[in-house]
Amino acid sequence: MDVRKTTDLLSTTYTDALAIRKTVFVEEQNVDESLEIDDLEDQTLHLVGYVQNKPACTARLLKKDNGDIKIQRVAVLKDYRGTGLGLKLIHEIERLAVKELNGSRLILDSQDHAIAFYEKADFTVEGEGFLDAGIPHHFMKKKIDRT
């Protein structure tokens, strides 16, 4: 998998990220498009994983003032689910968080059905569940290993 990153909202990489997010969140999960694309788009680092030059997965990262790196909008196209691609993307995010973003901790709001996926990457659930876009979620965190 080739991972490309951008902050340029006019780039092909960003356009590919939006296309994946629209397919997964808007079309498959029926999330309102007005909730999917928000006011943080220009404040985040957008990642897209490509397989044989085809966009397959995406995520975006928001660096918080306290050093946390918030992982958002993680999506893998249906044809690539169950292949380990999502976990590879999470590992790339962790590498970027250490090497380029100087983060101290990874955090995210996981859809409940994806908790086991994030636990495979050593994230832990913290606190009570909540609804986001009508979908049950839990906050998860992982201390970044800086070695």
- Cα separations in angstroms, 27 against 61, 80, 104: 23, 17, 34
For residue 77, give the nearest of 39, 21, 146 by alpha carbon: 21
Q: Where are the domains of the chain?
A: 2-107
The answer on pLDDT for 18 being more than 90 is yes
Instruction: List the structure tokens of 121.
Output: 């990457």
Cα–Cα distance, 63 to 70 (Å, whole number): 6
Confidence at 98, pLDDT banded by 50, 70, 90: confident
The answer on pLDDT for 145 being more than 90 is no
pTM here? 0.94
CATH level 3 topology of 2-107: Aminopeptidase (3.40.630)
What pLDDT, in 10s, does the model give residues 102-128?
A: 888 999 999 999 999 999 999 999 999
